Amino acid sequence: MPVIELKNVSIRYIVGDFKYIGVKEYILKKLKNQYHVKEFWADKNISFSLEAGDMLGIIGTNGAGKSTLLKAVSKIMIPTKGKLKVKGSIAALLELSSGFDGELTVRENTYLRGAMLGYTRRFMDEKYKEIIAFAELEDFQDRLFKHLSSGMKSRLAFSIACLVNPDILILDEVLSVGDGSFRKKSSAKMREILESGVTGILVSHSLPQIREMCNKILWLDHGKQIVFSDKVDVCCNAYKEFLLSKRVPKTWEQIEEMGSLGKKRQACGVKKGLTKSQKIEALLNRKNEKAAIKAATAFLQQKRPDLLK
């Protein structure tokens, strides 16, 4: 039985000027037939299903509809059209500071977030030390949340979500925040969670992260579903080619063709004709950090030497 199932889900925003003109002017404009609204479809006809233990990676450029879709799956938003079924408890990290109060301490926010997820005081008492230890915040328990760095906030949010035993874990760019050691630790924790049967959804611009952690992939572009597949490597290679060519595939054959081109580019290394930033990105994708740092430093020395002083 699917844990998450979407059938032709569409989400629409109504864009109008009601909040700027007030009730009186709104009524007058309606009576004169001068009030107009615009429809913006953030997601259109999205369909996929996930079983227990699946990890879905969602890719797409900014504005593709990824975060809006996560809000619908998290039951924060109701789809305008289509059917959406979700079974089990959900822990969603959509924004680092959501669900936290900046005027409360780390300790108080941990219990607050746990309560918002539906857990009892006794359960949070049992998990509290484990959460703080994983987040590496033992020395900051009585510090106000607003005084934490973004990396600390990310660690606390991730720790609470992962250590309270959800059935479904939803992450929106959370694993890309924090230092390298914590990213490795959080990735290892995610693999452990998935092996226990938890279903996950990860939105990330890091293709290596998607390749490593996900067994299903969903590609969105301007609210439209390009593909949902278990062929993660093929789709990631095709997406890399899309970022270079801006050509949107319309069939699976085109995706395979673009995937083959993307794979060849990766195998051949950095090619002539790529921009400096594309060359650096290619080096990072191949996990050649030293070469990427060297190339970035050379680029800055040429364009902005003042930044290296």
* DSSP string for 278-291: HHHHHHHHTT-HHH
- Tell me: do 110 and 216 sit in the same domain: yes
pLDDT value at position 179?
64
CB neighbour burial string for 149-161, b if at least 16 within 10 angstroms, e if fewer: eeebbbbbbbbbb
pLDDT value at position 270?
45
Helix, coil or strand: residue 63: coil
pLDDT value at position 155?
85
- Tell me: do 92 and 126 sit in the same domain: yes
pLDDT value at position 271?
46
| Average pLDDT score over the chain | 84
- Tell me: do 169 and 305 sit in the same domain: no
Domain around 131:
4-232
Helix, coil or strand: residue 85: strand
pLDDT value at position 184?
77
Which tens digit of pLDDT belongs to each residue from 286-308?
A: 666 777 787 777 777 777 776 66
Residue located via tokens 């008492």: 125
Please list the helix, strand and coil fractions of the chain in percent, rounded to the nearest 5, in that order.
50, 20, 30
The pairing of strands 4-15 and 81-86 is: antiparallel
- Tell me: do 161 and 242 sit in the same domain: no
The pairing of strands 168-172 and 90-93 is: parallel
CATH number of the CATH domain containing 139: 3.40.50.300
- Tell me: do 307 and 240 sit in the same domain: no
Residue (of 156, 79, 57) closest to 111 by Cα position: 156
Which tens digit of pLDDT belongs to each residue from 189-220?
A: 777 877 788 898 999 888 988 998 899 999 99
pTM for this model (two decimals)? 0.72
- Tell me: do 256 and 302 sit in the same domain: no
DSSP string computed for 189-249: HHHHHHHTT-EEEEE-S-HHHHHHH-SEEEEEETTEEEEEES-HHHHHHHHHHHHHH-PPP
CB neighbours (10 Å) of residue 210?
23
What domain count does the chain have?
A: 3
| Spatial distance between the Cα atoms of 15 and 162, rounded to a whole number of angstroms | 36
Most confident of 7-21, 26-40, 121-135, 146-160: 121-135
Residue (of 109, 102, 123, 210) closest to 156 by Cα position: 109
Which tens digit of pLDDT belongs to each residue from 238-290?
A: 999 999 888 999 999 999 999 998 887 766 654 445 566 766 776 666 666 77
- Tell me: do 42 and 182 sit in the same domain: yes
- Tell me: do 142 and 273 sit in the same domain: no
- Tell me: do 43 and 174 sit in the same domain: yes
- Tell me: do 156 and 245 sit in the same domain: no
Q: Which of 35-49, 114-128, 164-178 has the lowest mean pLDDT?
A: 164-178
- Tell me: do 9 and 146 sit in the same domain: yes
Task: Give me the half-sphere count of Cα atoms (radius 13 Å) on the Cβ side of residue 131.
Answer: 28
Would you tell me the crossing angle of helices 150-163 and 121-135 to the nearest 10 degrees?
A: 130
- Tell me: do 228 and 239 sit in the same domain: no
